[in-house]
Amino acid sequence: MSTPKFICEVYKDNSNEWRWRTIARNGNIVAVSPEGYKNFGDAYEMASKLNEKADICVLKETSEGKEFLSEHD
């Protein structure tokens, strides 16, 4: 798998809500979820939809669960 341009990460925030963020190769956060989601599936679905449209990033969940990877370069 080649190195992705971005990683789109789904994570739990301090309010115990799920959010997504897009991180560039250099570690800079370039996009964030405008709202928190009550369940992982909703946050993941939105991140997936954005990834489909932009076709730019690998999608993964942080240490709270599994990783979901797809190859984009």
Return the CATH number at 56. Answer: 3.30.160.160
- 47 within domain boundaries: yes
- Scan for tokens 């997936």, then name that residue: 48
- 16 within domain boundaries: yes
Nearest-CA neighbor of 62 among 29, 31, 24, 19?
Answer: 19
- pLDDT for position 37: 95
Reading the chain (73 residues) residue by residue, the pLDDT tens digits are: 556 677 788 888 889 999 988 888 888 998 899 999 999 889 988 888 877 665 566 666 665 544 444 333 3
Q: How many domains does the chain have?
A: 1
- pLDDT for position 47: 85
* pTM of this structure: 0.70
**Domain range spanning residue 53?**
6-61
- 26 within domain boundaries: yes
- 15 within domain boundaries: yes
- 73 within domain boundaries: no
